[in-house]
Amino acid sequence: MYPGCRPDGSGVAVSLPRVGETVTLTVDVYRAMLDRALTETPKEACGLFTGPTGALHVDDFHPMANTAPDDEAWKLYVLDGQEMLNVEAAADAGGRAVLGVMHSHTHTTAYPSPTDVADAARFDPFGAWVFIIVSLKHPDPVLRAYRILDGGVTEVRVVVDGG
């Protein structure tokens, strides 16, 4: 049984962040993510974020088109394949890394949905990426980050660095 499961073994595994597992966002990236979530409503916003290789310091956000069908874009995001390749190629060329994906939840909390967990299993099977979710459920947006691996969800501490 995973840590955080209910005694009967049901539910999604949840655990506290691992020691040292903190993602740092520049204030500009933080504001860009919140702005993108707000301006794309009623659709879920999405994008990739990058930073130096080997660190969880995010200093660039790459907003992307949500290519989900219009009648489903309020509850789901699909990254544009060509935009994704372009961001990955630019990161590689600059000696940088794609560290993860950001998306918004327009009506639910900042916690991975079953769809998010299933997508992570398909597109990030080794749990390398950080998943940032911006919730617009309440008037003030809430941003949280997670690692998702083998169906388990682990929250990652978020720090916003003004420098």
- According to CATH, the topology of domain 15-161 is Cytidine Deaminase; domain 2 (3.40.140)
pLDDT beyond 60 at 106: yes
Q: Tell me the pLDDT tens digit for each residue of 10-50.
A: 443 333 444 458 999 999 999 999 999 999 999 999 999 99
Alpha helices in 10-132 (DSSP H): 27-40, 81-93, 114-123
Asked whether the beta carbons of 66 and 46 are under 8 A apart, the reply is yes
Domain boundaries, the chain: 15-161
For residues 112 and 132, what is the distance between their CA atoms, to the nearest angstrom?
9
pLDDT beyond 50 at 99: yes
Number of alpha carbons in the 13 Å side-chain half-sphere of residue 90: 13
Q: Tell me the pLDDT tens digit for each residue of 73-91.
A: 999 999 999 999 999 999 9
